[in-house]
Amino acid sequence: MTHRTGTTPRTTWATRWAGALLCLAVAVVHLIDQGGLTATRDPYYIGVAYHVLEVAAAVAAVLLLAGLVRLGWLLAIGVAAGPIVGYVLSRGPGLPYYSDDIGNWTETIGLVSLAVEGALLLLSVPLFMRSVRRGTSRPVARQASR
């Protein structure tokens, strides 16, 4: 059975699950990098950014699994792109009061983070664009029943 968007419900479900798992992987990588759930990196604004990213990643995963695909994929794009920009800035010119990682392009956890975020970005951008073109603002489950 196919629904209005021309994809099978199973494919839609699989891509949403993949996106949700990648979002959660971004959160886990950053939890590990910051030293745990209750730790906050220095400087303080970097630590706050990590916590905001982790919450946003969890929210994006929930939105995707709940079928709110347009909002879920949009947030997933931010969850992927934000840390990539942060990685480049922190390793390139550095960030205010944070120069520890300048030139540290091959740190293992950073490379793992880039791989997960890159995969999430490659998945979420086309699926978000498709949801915009097709007008899928309603939950997927409701559309599948048409």
Q: For residue range 4-49, list pLDDT tens digits in order.
A: 444 446 558 999 999 999 999 999 999 999 999 888 888 999 999 9
CB 16 within 8 A of CB 140: yes
Is residue 92's pLDDT more than 90?
Answer: yes
Tell me, yes or no, whether 44 lies in a domain. Answer: yes
Tell me, yes or no, whether 54 lies in a domain. Answer: yes
Q: By residue range, what is the domain housing residue 126?
A: 9-135
pLDDT value at position 135?
73
Tell me, yes or no, whether 13 lies in a domain. Answer: yes
pLDDT (average), residues 102-131:
96
CB 102 within 8 A of CB 90: yes
Is residue 143's pLDDT more than 60?
Answer: no
Tell me, yes or no, whether 141 lies in a domain. Answer: no
When divided into structural domains, the chain yields a total of 1
Tell me, yes or no, whether 142 lies in a domain. Answer: no
Tell me, yes or no, whether 109 lies in a domain. Answer: yes
For residue range 47-89, list pLDDT tens digits in order.
Answer: 999 999 999 999 999 999 999 999 999 999 999 999 999 999 9
pLDDT value at position 105?
96
Query: Contacts for 86-93 with beta carbons within 8 Å, 24 or more apart?
Result: 86/49, 87/113, 87/114
Tell me, yes or no, whether 43 lies in a domain. Answer: yes
Tell me, yes or no, whether 146 lies in a domain. Answer: no
pLDDT value at position 71?
96
